[in-house]
């Protein structure tokens, strides 16, 4: 058996410091935050977190929280929708990355925003959310 060349073992050497020096720290962070999987995953978790926080505040503050809940929801969902501007549902790469998440997670998050925007009659946002839902869940929606 021939001995393996020493360069073969360099393939498994990973050093954050040397790799970041090659790319640059700022560029590595930007690339990471622009990845469609990270963008869509953050969107999904943010919707879930909103309802968790609401439940905690509802338990703690009761009627006081219920008076501001709709305004809070409007502000939060508008910002969350703007976050989706970095997710391009027209690119196959973005859709394939989004499809890696569980269907129930996708349905819950997108349906939550869809219901809210239907309620306030912002149909332009509804159309985009429906498109995202249809593309990420494929044949399961509208069949």
Are the CB atoms for 50 and 73 separated by under 8 Å? yes
- Domain ranges, ordered by start, for the chain: 34-138
Encode pLDDT of 44-59 as tens digits.
999 999 999 999 999 9
* Predicted confidence (pLDDT) per residue in 118-130, tens digit: 999 999 999 999 9
Digit-coded pLDDT (tens) for 87-137:
999 999 999 999 999 999 999 999 999 999 999 999 999 999 999 999 999
In whole angstroms, what is the distance from residue 53 CA to residue 48 CA? 9
* φ, ψ for residue 4, nearest 5 deg: -75, 140
Place of tokens 């501001």: 68
Report pTM.
0.73
Q: Are 105 and 44 in contact (CB under 8 A)?
A: yes
């Amino acid at each position: 058996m021939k001995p393996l060349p020493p360069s073969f073992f360099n393939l498994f050497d990973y050093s954050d410091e040397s790799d970041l020096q090659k790319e640059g720290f700022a560029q590595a962070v930007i690339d990471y935050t622009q990845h469609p999987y990270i963008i869509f995953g953050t969107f999904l978790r943010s919707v879930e977190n909103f309802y968790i926080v609401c439940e905690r505040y509802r338990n703690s503050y009761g009627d006081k929280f219920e008076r501001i809940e709709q305004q809070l929801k409007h502000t939060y969902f508008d910002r969350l929708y703007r976050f989706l501007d970095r997710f391009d549902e027209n690119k196959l790469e973005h859709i394939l990355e989004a499809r890696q998440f569980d269907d129930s997670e996708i349905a819950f998050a997108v349906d939550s925003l869809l219901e809210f925007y239907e309620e306030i009659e912002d149909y332009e946002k509804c159309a985009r959310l429906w498109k995202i839902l249809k593309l990420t869940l494929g044949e399961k929606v509208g069949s």
